[in-house]
Structure 1
Amino acid sequence: MAVALNSITAIVAGVLAQASVSIAPMQAWTPFFNVAGYCSPFDLSIISLLFTAVGIQTTWRENFGAAAAASGTTKNEGGGGGGTQLSWRSLQQWSRGLLQSLRSDRSIIPLGSVQALYEASMYIFVFMWTPALEQANDGAAVSLGLVFACFMTACTAGSQLFRYLSTPSITTRALSSAAILRVVCSAALVSQGIVFMFPYSVWTVLLSFLAFEASVGVYYPSMGTLKAEIVPESHRATIYNLFRVPLNLLVIGALLAKLEVAEAFGVTSLLLALALALSLRITPTTNPVSSAARLPLLRVGQKAT
Structure 2
Amino acid sequence: MELFYFLVFGGLSAVVAALELSKSSKDRINTPSAFNAFKNNYLLVYSLMMAGDWLQGPYVYYLYSQYGFGKRDIGHLFIAGFGSSMLFGTIVGSLADKQGRKRASITYCITYILSCITKHSPQYKVLMVGRILGGIATSLLFSAFESWLVAEHNKRGFEQQWLSITFSKAIFLGNGLVAIVSGLFGNLLVDTLGLGPVSPFDAAACFLAIGMAIIMSSWSENYGDPSENKDLLTQFKGAAVAIASDEKIALLGAIQSLFEGSMYTFVFLWTPALSPNGEDIPHGFIFATFMLSSMLGSSIASRLMAQSSPKVESYMQIVFVISSASLLLPIITSFLIAPSKVKGGSISFSGCILVVGFCAFEACVGIFWPSIMKMRSQYIPEEARSTIMNFFRIPLNIFVCIVLYNVDGFPMTIMFGMCSIFLFVAAILQRRLMTIVESQKSKPQDWTALERSAEEESLNV
Change (3 A) 1:236 1:147: same
Query: Partners in 2 of 1:57 and 1:98 — Cα distance?
Result: 32
- 1:91 has 2:240 as partner: no
**What is the number of residues matched between the two proteins?**
249
Cα drift, residue 277 of structure 1 = 1.5
Which residue of 2 is the match for residue 11 of structure 1? 180
Shift of 1:106: 1.9
Q: Which residue of 2 aligns with 1:193?
A: 328
Structure 2 residue aligned with 1:260: 411
Map 1:14-25; keep pairs closer than 5 Å.
Answer: 14-17=183-186
1:105-184 alignment, distance < 5 Å: 105-135=246-276, 138-168=277-307, 174-184=309-319
Are residues 52 and 19 of structure 1, via their aligned partners in 2, closer, same or farther at CA, if it must alter by over 3 Å? closer
* Aligned-partner Cα distance in 2 for 1:19–1:237: 36
- Aligned partners of 2:184 and 2:230: how far apart in 1? 54
2:207 counterpart of 1:52: yes
Unpaired runs of at least 5, structure 2: 1-39, 44-169, 340-349, 440-461
The RMSD of aligned alpha carbons is 3.4
User: What's the secondary structure of 1:13's corresponding residue?
Assistant: helix
State the partner residue of 1:78.
none
Give the letter for the 2:394 counterpart: V
In the TM superposition, what is the alpha-carbon distance from 1:238 to its structure 2 partner? Answer: 2.8
Give the letter aligned to residue 373 of structure 2: G
Quick one: distance in 1 between partners of 2:417 and 2:333? 11
Q: In structure 2, how many angstroms separate the alpha carbons of the residues matched to 1:269 and 1:244?
A: 19
The 3 A distance-change label for structure 1 pair 60 and 132 is same
CA contact (8 A) 1:16 1:145 kept: no
- Tell me the residue number matched to 2:361: 212
TM-superposed deviation, 1:274: 1.5
Q: Which residue of 2 aligns with 1:231?
A: 380
* 380, 394, 409: which one aligns with 1:245: 394
Offset of residue 22 of structure 1? 6.6
Aligned to 1:81: none
How far did residue 87 of structure 1 move?
5.3
Equivalent residue in structure 2 for 1:275, among 426, 430, 440: 426
Residues 174 and 256 of structure 1, relative CA distance in 2, 3 Å threshold: same
Q: CA deviation at 1:64?
A: 9.0
- TM-score (norm: length of structure 2): 0.47
TM-score normalised per structure 1: 0.69
Kindly indicate which of the two structures has a greater share of residues assigned to helix: 2
- Give the direction of change, closer, same or farther, for the CA distance of 1:143–1:54 in structure 2 (3 Å limit): same
Aligned-residue offset at 1:15: 3.7
Structure 2 residue aligned with 1:291: none
Task: Note if contact 2:186-2:200 (Cα within 8 Å) is conserved in structure 1.
Answer: no
What is the CA-CA distance between 1:21 and the residue it aligns to?
Answer: 7.0
Distance 1:100 1:51 in 2: 39
CA distance in 2, matches of 1:244, 1:57: 25
Identical-residue share of aligned pairs (%):
27
Distance in 2 of aligned mates of 1:61 and 1:21:
31
Task: State the AA in 1 paired with 2:182.
Answer: A
Give the aligned partner of residue 99 of structure 2.
none
Moved more, 105-114 or 230-239: 230-239
- CA change 1:8–1:44 in 2 (3 A) is farther
Q: Report the CA distance shift for 1:229/1:5 in structure 2 as closer, same or farther (over 3 A).
A: closer
After superposition, the Cα gap between the structure-2 partners of 1:221 and 1:22, relative to the gap in structure 1 and judged at 3 Å, is same
CA distance in 2, matches of 1:228, 1:167: 16
Query: 2:371 maps to which residue?
Result: 222
Deviation at 1:150, TM superposition (A): 0.5
Distance change >3 Å, CA 117–CA 22, structure 1 → 2: same
Structure 1 alignment gaps of length 5 or more = 25-35, 75-85, 288-305
